[in-house]
């Protein structure tokens, strides 16, 4: 091989060795409800859910990873087109107003109370149970490479706000790798790659969207009555933005006293009195997520906070 060919070959090796690369790996979520999941192609109204800041139980990234994880899940839920998501800033404001900060959002009953105040169907709480970064490397005669690997395990719980039940418990794992190399001491160099955190978290969280949707699709879509200004007339806290259209039929119920389990004293539901069937007549003026409806016969006693479910 002459000198020119040797130079070209060396340059090719140099470029291959020095080019940084990344890879992301997602592992299947492990769900306690896995055998019951419904792989539906639901196209009805969007579900109203909330996502609170995740708890970081790992020793890594305190004050950073929990908020990042909840923000990523919110983004993925919104991108799916199946949800209206209330973000944690609004939830935190309501918690402060209701003086609930000290009770912790990991408590299902507290989360359910918060969800009811915000007019949600369900609320997601979660934690980062494991996060680790390790470095690997190889050193050959001409080339050297260094690889950073981030592994994360995220656990979530989906809580039905009507009774505080955990209707889905899920665990997901994600992995992200970054490889940097050098040739004869020259090439890509650098310290810790902070983008690995977000990539590993996203890999672990993206798989939850389908499971959350499938679990919620098992129950009838519902919304709340926001106002009942006249007999037979109601306004709903869901409208065009949620996919609620004129002509939709809803069965509405007055929400009464709490029903508690006599053994645990936990709220397991509410006394409900049937108000009647209502039909959506159209949006509330220019409001993006509000709809007007009228009862066909009764419903004169409807009030703000009562529940309407999609009629079967």
For 82-111, write each residue's pLDDT tens digit.
999 987 778 778 777 776 655 555 677 778
Position 24 scores a pLDDT of 47
In this structure, the number of other CB atoms found within 10 A of the CB of residue 264 comes to: 8
**Are the C-beta atoms of residues 308 and 236 closer than 8 Å to each other?**
yes
**What separation in angstroms does the CA of 87 have from each of 75, 96, 141, 209, 239?**
10, 15, 53, 16, 19
Cα 149 to chain centroid distance, Å, stands at: 25
- Can you tell me which residue has the tokens 């909330």? 50
Is 11 in a helix, a strand, or coil?
helix
The structural domains of the chain, with segments of one domain joined by +, span 27-132+151-175+188-216, 222-310
Position 183 scores a pLDDT of 41
Q: Domain 222-310, what fold?
A: Thrombin, subunit H (2.40.10)
Distance CA 84, CA 216 (A): 13
Cα 117 to chain centroid distance, Å, stands at: 19
- Provide, for the chain, the percentages of residues in helix, strand and coil under a 3-state DSSP scheme, each rounded to the nearest 5: 25, 40, 35
b/e for 202-239, b at 16 or more Cβ within 10 A?
Answer: bbbbbbbbebbbbbbbeeebbbbbbbbeeebbbbbbbb
**First-residue to last-residue Cα distance in the chain:** 79
Give the single-character DSSP code of 291. Answer: E
Position 31 scores a pLDDT of 43
**Under-50 pLDDT residues of the chain:** 5-24, 26, 28-38, 40, 139-143, 181-188, 190-192
- Can you tell me which residue has the tokens 């007007």? 292
CATH architecture of structural domain 27-132+151-175+188-216: 3-Layer(aba) Sandwich (3.40)
Position 265 scores a pLDDT of 80
25 CB-contact burial (10 Å; exposed 0-12 / middle 13-18 / buried 19+): middle
Task: Rounding to the nearest 10 degrees, give the CA dihedral for residues 196, 126, 223, 288.
Answer: -30
- For the four alpha carbons of 278, 309, 38 and 50, in that order, the dihedral sign comes to positive
Of residues 183, 182, 197, 201, the one with CA closest to residue 148? 197
Alpha helices per DSSP H over 173-301: 195-205, 208-216
Can you state the angle between helices 88-97 and 108-117, rounded to 10 degrees? Answer: 100
């Amino acid at each position: 091989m002459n000198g020119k060919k040797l130079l070209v070959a060396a340059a090719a090796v140099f470029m291959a060795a020095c080019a940084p690369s990344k890879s992301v790996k997602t592992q299947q979520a492990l769900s306690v409800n896995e055998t019951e999941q419904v792989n539906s192609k639901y196209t009805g109204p969007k579900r109203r859910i909330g996502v609170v800041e995740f708890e970081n139980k790992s020793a890594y990234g305190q004050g950073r990873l929990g908020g990042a994880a909840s923000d990523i899940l919110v983004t993925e839920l919104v991108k799916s087109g199946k949800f209206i998501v209330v973000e944690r800033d609004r939830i935190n404001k309501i918690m402060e107003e209701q003086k609930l900060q000290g009770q912790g959002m990991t408590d299902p009953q507290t989360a359910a109370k918060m969800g009811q105040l915000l007019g949600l169907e369900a609320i997601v709480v979660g934690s980062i149970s494991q996060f680790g970064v390790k470095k690997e490397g190889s050193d050959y005669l001409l080339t050297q490479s260094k690889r950073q690997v981030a592994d994360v395990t995220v656990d979530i719980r989906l809580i039905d706000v009507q009774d505080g039940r955990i209707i889905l418990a899920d665990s997901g794992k994600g992995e992200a790798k970054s490889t940097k190399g050098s040739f004869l001491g020259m090439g890509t160099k650098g310290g810790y790659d902070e983008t690995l955190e977000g990539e590993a978290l996203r890999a672990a969280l993206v798989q939850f969207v389908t499971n959350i949707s499938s679990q919620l699709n098992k129950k009838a879509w519902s919304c709340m009555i926001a106002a009942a200004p006249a007999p037979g007339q109601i306004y709903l806290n869901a409208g065009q933005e949620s996919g609620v259209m004129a002509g939709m039929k809803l069965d509405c119920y007055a929400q009464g006293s709490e029903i508690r389990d006599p053994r645990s004293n936990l709220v397991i539901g509410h006394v409900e009195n049937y108000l009647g069937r209502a039909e959506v007549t159209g949006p509330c003026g220019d409001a993006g997520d509000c709809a007007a409806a009228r009862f066909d016969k009764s419903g004169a006693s409807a009030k703000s906070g009562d529940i309407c479910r999609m009629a079967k």
